[in-house]
A and B are shown apart, each in its own frame.
Chain A
Amino acid sequence: MNQVTSVLIAGVGGQGTLLASRILGYAMMQEGYDVKVSEVHGMSQRGGSVVTYVRFGNEVHSPIIETGEADVLLAFEQLEAARFLPYLKPGAALVANTQKIDPMPVVTGTAQYPQGLFESIEKLGIRVTAVDALSLAEEAGSSKAVNVVLIGAMARQMSFPKEIWLDALKHCVQEKFLELNQKAFQLGWEA
């Protein structure tokens, strides 16, 4: 049977979800898998909810992931973790940044930022790995490295050698930021 793994990466426009999906996609291609990565460009990048799909396996047809189909949700922000929860298969894994970014209705005071989201998600039988990726990224040298910290945290849970991730990082990241990102990946891996 054709086994395909589906990873949904969700965040807020500007958080660097695209780079995360490229690192994952490249690593899986190097491992010999067929890979499809679906990106979002254009208007929704401006601070809105953004989602990227990465799928790999023997043969991947559709580039998108629908509700009830994801094996892993890599969430860059708490509210986005909750928003894309319906995309997970029952019993799947969530790797999530603990960071909260207020959306416009919360900013303007017409809505409250929901509390206790991870606890509610765990109650549904989802394995939650919560990572304070912002602090770790800052520790690595830049708050912008949240994406690579999270890739590190997710990579640790997958059954691939660390070297393939470091190789993918080298391929996908600009050389001048490589050292910083290697550190960010390591902090995520250890988190």
Chain B
Amino acid sequence: MKKLLLGNEAVARGLYEAGVRVASSYPGTPSTEITEAAAKYAEIYCEWAPNEKVAAEVASGAAIGGARSFCAMKHVGLNVAADPLFTMSYIGVNAGMVLAVADDPGMHSSQNEQDSRHYARAAKLPMLEPADSKECKEFTKLAYELSEEFDTPVILRLCTRVAHSRSIVEEEDWMERDLKPYEKAPAKNVMLPAFAKGKHPKVEERLLKLSQWAETSGINRVEDNGAPISVVTSGISYQYVKEAMGDRVNYLKLGMVYPLPEKLLLDFGKKASTLYVVEELDSFLEDQLKAMGITVVGKEKFPRCGELSQKLVRKILCGEEAKSLSLDASLPVRPPAMCCGCPHRGVFYALKKEKVMVSGDIGCYTLGASAPLEAMDTCICMGASVSALHGFNKARGETGSEQRSAAVIGDSTFIHSGVTSLIDIAYNHSNSVVIVLDNSITGMTGHQQNPTTGYNIKGDPAVSVDLEALCRAVGIRRVRVVDPYDLKAVTAALREELAAQEPSVIISRRPCVLLKYVKHSPPLSVREESCIGCKACLGLGCPAISLRDNKAWIDPTQCVGCGVCSSLCPKKAIG
């Protein structure tokens, strides 16, 4: 049956058809939908793990245990999962193991633009890169065959435009796979130095065999159009070149971007008068081709930053540029904003009013950095809000920083890697204030369950982490819960904990306003005769409130009646 599937859904379909039994992931744009879609197949056990390292280890254990296994993550998640990955490269597999990583060139929803292809080289693992949904499914299935044939985990690399684009996929049947027998094999599975020393040469040998396989496998495909110009490319970049150049160039489309087929590349390069390498982000292919002694044109023409496109390729290769229209008007920008009734808003408002240095983290609440709240000083990576605040206070404690700084971190992010940082605060003692923004869901990636929500990936009831007890158990004595809709209580808690002479945790607890079970109150309105146009309510940056004829106005179609604005009104004009 033909279906119009997201690249991510096509990977999930590939998992199903390949008889995968265990999948463990942590959500991260643009990879999230793979595991969400996989969870719809009863044949695949799926779970949301607390973080990517845990997910990759679960997949490792399952593969050793004889089940085809899988884990997915965004590019920065692979940094977290890198530790097990590098050693699984030595151990190899029993049943096949595939790790999907989704890069985000252009940073549509990410904090950096790292090129995950470097991990394949660093961990000495094969990496496949599909160019559309059809290939997402095919390559996923092929990855399991390679994994078992060459005794190696395989990395499947996607990017936003492949992961989040729909194209036509022909569905095939489920292949039942028996659990492979498990036998104790310490020399294979226990990476003591003595055993690992035996393994490393095998890993090097495996890479050579894989590059031999890549010479003739068909996953690396030559399209000879008899043109003088030739292009080596892969993944989404292939689509852009194909769109821009059609039959005007010859192609070597690499389906496997590591290890590379040297002979195939040398032969292809010899026939070209000019050989281009077209790849997004780093000069990953280009550097390897140059090391083979092949003369190529790459990053001196193509950018290292941001996404490519057919337009950019056409401009660079042919100097052609389509005309575009422009309006002679300046248009106000429309950046993303916290939703109306978002429980994070009140906390950021209080932090701004109290002039607190805010150590931020990754999630919807990173939008607290935007105008008009502008209440975030730093944002590095998942969990860093807590540990970086500790470091900040160790550096600047003598200046009284502990009384003027706080970390903000969401419930899912806190479980991901904030809790280890909190242990550092307790153990190595700084009077740091950590605010856990507990909205009972993983919000930014589109509402995934996590260990604090009480439900699993299938929506079935599960054990939930008791955040207050967890914080106390690691040695934080001052733990309190506030309702972020109650601005007075938030401000009072903040002042008290900043003044305290010991570390503390404030849990700001209210479920995400977009959750289906959350009941909205009737919309509020402004009594025009009472409003003095002081704009105090506008300081919240609520999309429902604007100024009309110098009076505040609340859009009744957007307002969910959270009431935070009415508590700010000096004339009690909102109700």
- Given A85-B326, A88-B325; A46-B338 close (CB under 8 Å): yes
**A105–B143 alpha-carbon span in the complex (Å):** 48
**Cβ–Cβ contact A46 & B336, under 8 A:** yes
User: How far is the CB of A165 from the nearest CB of chain B, in Å?
Assistant: 15
Are B333 and A41 touching (Cβ within 8 A)?
no
Residues of A within 8 A of B335 (CB): 48, 103-104
Residues of B within 8 A of A112 (CB): 332
A32-48 CB mask vs B (1 if < 8 Å, else 0) is: 00111111111111111
A3 at the interface (CB under 8 A from B): no
B-side contacts of A104, CB under 8 Å = 333-335, 337, 370-372, 541, 543
Q: Which of B189-228 contact A (CB under 8 A)?
A: none
Tell me whether A35 and B4 are in contact (CB under 8 A).
yes
A47 touches B337 (CB 8 A): yes
Q: B310, A66: Cβ atoms under 8 Å?
A: yes
With beta carbons under 8 angstroms apart, the residue of B32, B166, B326 that contacts A36 is: B166
Distance A143 CA – B556 CA, assembled complex (angstroms):
12
Interface residues of B in 365-382 (CB under 8 A from A): 366-367, 370-372
Contact B336 A48 (CB under 8 A): yes
Indicate with 1 or 0, residue by residue over A82-106, a CB within 8 angstroms of chain B CB atoms.
Answer: 1101111110000000000011111
Q: Is the interface of B mostly helix, strand, loop or mixed?
A: loop
Which listed segment binds B: A114-122, A150-158, A181-189? A114-122
* B132 touches A (CB below 8 Å): yes
Contact call B329/A120, Cβ cutoff below 8 A: yes
CA distance in complex: A29, B545 (Å)? 42
Contact among A2, A38, A47, A80 for B543, CB-based, below 8 A: A47
Tell me if A129 counts as interface (CB < 8 A to partner B): no
B131 to chain A, nearest CB (A): 9
Q: CA of A34 to CA of B108 in the docked complex: distance in angstroms? A: 26
Contact A90 B445 (CB under 8 A): no
Give the distance to chain B from A75, nearest Cβ to Cβ, in Å.
13
Min CB distance A49 to B, Å, is 4
Most buried by A among B246, B335, B542: B335
Tell me whether A108 and B372 are in contact in the complex, defined as CB-CB below 8 angstroms, given that A42-B108, A48-B336, A80-B334 are known contacts.
yes
Chain A residue numbers with a CB within 8 Å of B311 are 66-69
Mark the stretch among B82-90, B235-243, B455-463, B489-497 that contacts chain A.
B235-243
Question: Across the interface, do B371 and A108 meet the contact criterion of CB distance under 8 Å?
Answer: yes
B residues near A121, Cβ cutoff 8 Å: 327
Which residues of chain A (41-68) have a CB below 8 Å from chain B? 41-49, 60-64, 66-68
Can you name the residue of chain B whose Cβ is closest to the Cβ of A121? B327
Instruction: Provide the residues of chain A in CB contact with B547, threshold 8 Å.
Output: 107, 109
Distance A106 CA – B167 CA, assembled complex (angstroms): 38
Chain A positions within 8 Å of B324 at CB level: 67-68, 86-88
Inter-chain contact B339/A37, CB cutoff 8 Å: no
**Are B545 and A25 in contact, with the CB atoms below 8 A?**
no
How far, in Å, is A142 (CB) from chain B's closest CB?
11
Band of interface residues on B: 35 or more
B549 close to chain A: CB less than 8 A: no
Least CB separation from A172: chain B residue: B4
Task: Report the minimal beta-carbon distance from B330 to chain A, rounded to whole angstroms.
Answer: 8
- Asked if B336 contacts A108 (CB within 8 A), the reply is no
Are the CB atoms of B334 and A49 closer together than 8 Å? yes
Docked Cα-Cα span, A42 to B108, in Å, equals: 8
In the bound complex, residues from chain B placing their C-beta under 8 Å from that of A44 are 108-109, 336
Q: Is the pair B108, A40 in contact by a Cβ cutoff of 8 Å?
A: yes
Given A68-B324, A86-B324: A108 in contact with B541 (beta carbons within 8 A): yes
Q: A48: which B residues are within 8 A, CB to CB?
A: 334-337
- Chain A residues closer than 8 Å to B557, beta-carbon distance: 143
In the complex, whether B164 has a CB less than 8 A from a CB of chain A is yes
Beta-carbon contact of B332 and A79 below 8 Å? yes
Kindly report which residue of chain A lies nearest to residue B542, judged by CB atoms: A107
Whether the pair B332, A85 counts as a contact (CB closer than 8 A) is no
The total number of A-B Cβ pairs within 8 Å is: 192
User: What is the chain A residue whose CB lies nearest that of B8?
Assistant: A41
A121-B326 Cα distance, complex, nearest whole Å = 9
CA distance A79 to B332 in the complex (A): 8
Q: Is the CB of B168 within 8 A of A29?
A: yes
Would you call A20 an interface residue if the criterion is a C-beta within 8 Å of the partner chain's C-beta atoms? no
Q: How far is the CB of A106 from chain B (nearest CB, A)?
A: 6
Which residues of B sit under 8 angstroms from A79, Cβ to Cβ?
A: 331-332, 334
Whether A83 touches B331, Cβ cut-off 8 Å, given contacts A35-B4, A46-B339, A66-B310, is: yes
Which one of B310, B322, B330, B336 lies within 8 Å of A43 (CB-CB)? Answer: B336
**Which residues from chain B contact A68 at a C-beta distance below 8 Å?**
311, 321-325
Give Cα A12 to B335, complex, Å: 10
Cβ contact within 8 Å between A107 and B545: yes
Please indicate which of the listed interface residues A43, A60, A102 has the most CB atoms of chain B within 10 Å of its own CB. Answer: A43
A177 at the interface (CB under 8 A from B): no
Instruction: Using A25-B166, A35-B166, A35-B167 as known contacts, say yes or no to A47 and B336 having CB atoms under 8 A apart.
Output: yes
The answer to whether B336 and A45 have CB atoms under 8 Å apart is yes
B323-362 interface (Cβ within 8 A of A): 323-339
**CB-CB nearest in chain B for A134:** B557
A107 touching B240 by the CB < 8 A rule? no
Residues of B within 8 A of A120 (CB): 327-329
Complex Cα distance, B525 from A79, in Å, reads: 26
**A145 contacts the other chain (CB 8 A):** no
Residue of A nearest to B366 (CB): A43
Q: Which residues of B contact A160 (CB under 8 A)?
A: none
B329 touches A114 (CB 8 A): yes
Report Cα–Cα, A39/B161, bound state, in Å: 8
Q: Closest A residue to B74 by CB, please name it.
A: A42
A126 at interface, CB cutoff 8 A: yes
* A141 close to chain B: CB less than 8 A: no
Is B535 in contact with chain A by the CB < 8 A criterion? yes
List B residues 90-130 near A (Cβ within 8 Å): 108-109
Interface residue ranges of B506-563 to A (CB < 8 Å): 535, 538, 541-543, 545-547, 557
Whole-angstrom CA separation of A86 from B547 in the bound complex: 30
A170 to chain B, nearest CB (A): 15
Task: Give bound CA distance, A46 to B541, whole Å.
Answer: 13
- Residue of A whose beta carbon sits closest to that of B367: A46
7 new A-B contacts at CB < 8 Å, known A38-B164, A43-B108, A69-B322: A13-B336, A42-B444, A47-B334, A80-B334, A86-B326, A107-B547, A143-B557
Question: 24 A-B pairs, CB-CB below 8 angstroms?
Answer: A37-B4, A39-B6, A42-B446, A43-B29, A46-B338, A46-B367, A49-B334, A61-B240, A62-B243, A66-B312, A66-B322, A67-B324, A68-B311, A68-B324, A80-B334, A82-B329, A90-B323, A104-B372, A107-B545, A107-B546, A108-B371, A109-B538, A109-B547, A114-B330
| 3 A-B pairs with the lowest CB-CB distances in the bound complex, closest first | A42-B109, A68-B322, A42-B29
